[in-house]
């Protein structure tokens, strides 16, 4: 394998645990608010690493820009949606879980 392929492999392997942790957090965390933390933060960095992995494989500048654009758009959408879900839950009166 070429060095670029190794770098891609390393970045992809680094990304996987974040997605796994995001899903485990979704199952283990006690309430909606905590679960949103797990999903937004772990998946964003996971996707960032996937994008970084693919950047070693691009053949043109426009491809690289497109990949970065995709990451930025997902970041923006993820942050906005997390805020809206949390806001709605708060307005409906859902109390955050507290350590007993």
Partner 1 sequence: MPTADLERTPPWSWREASTRLAFLTGLWLLLTGADAGSWVIGGPAVLLATLLSLRLRSPVAWRWRPAGLLRFVPYFLWHSLRGGLDVTRRALHPRLPIAPALVYHTLRLPPGPSRVFLANTINLLPGTLSAELQDSRLTVHMLDAALVNVMELQRLETRVADLFAVSLE
Q: Footprint of partner 1 on this chain (CB under 8 A)?
A: 17-18, 21-22, 24-25, 28-29, 31, 33-34, 36-38, 40-42, 44-46, 48, 62, 65-66, 69, 75-76, 78-80, 82-83, 86-87, 89-91, 96-99
- Cα(76)–Cα(14) distance, integer angstroms: 22
Nearer to partner 1 by Cβ, of 33 and 56: the residue is 33
Nearer to partner 1 by Cβ, of 29 and 56: the residue is 29
Question: Nearest approach, Cβ of 31 to partner 1 (angstroms)?
Answer: 8
> 10 Cβ partners below 8 Å, 6+ apart?
53
User: How many Cα atoms occupy the beta-carbon half-sphere of 70 within 13 Å?
Assistant: 14
- Cα(76)–Cα(22) distance, integer angstroms: 18
């Amino acid at each position: 394998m070429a060095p670029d392929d190794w770098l891609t492999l390393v970045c992809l392997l680094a990304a996987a645990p974040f997605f796994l942790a995001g899903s485990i957090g979704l199952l283990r965390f006690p309430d909606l608010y905590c679960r949103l933390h797990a999903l937004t933060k772990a998946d964003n960095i996971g996707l960032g690493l996937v994008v970084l992995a693919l950047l070693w494989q691009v053949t043109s500048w426009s491809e690289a820009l497109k990949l970065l654009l995709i990451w930025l758009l997902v970041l923006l959408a993820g942050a906005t949606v997390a805020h809206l879900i949390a806001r709605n839950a708060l307005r409906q009166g859902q109390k955050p879980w507290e350590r007993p």
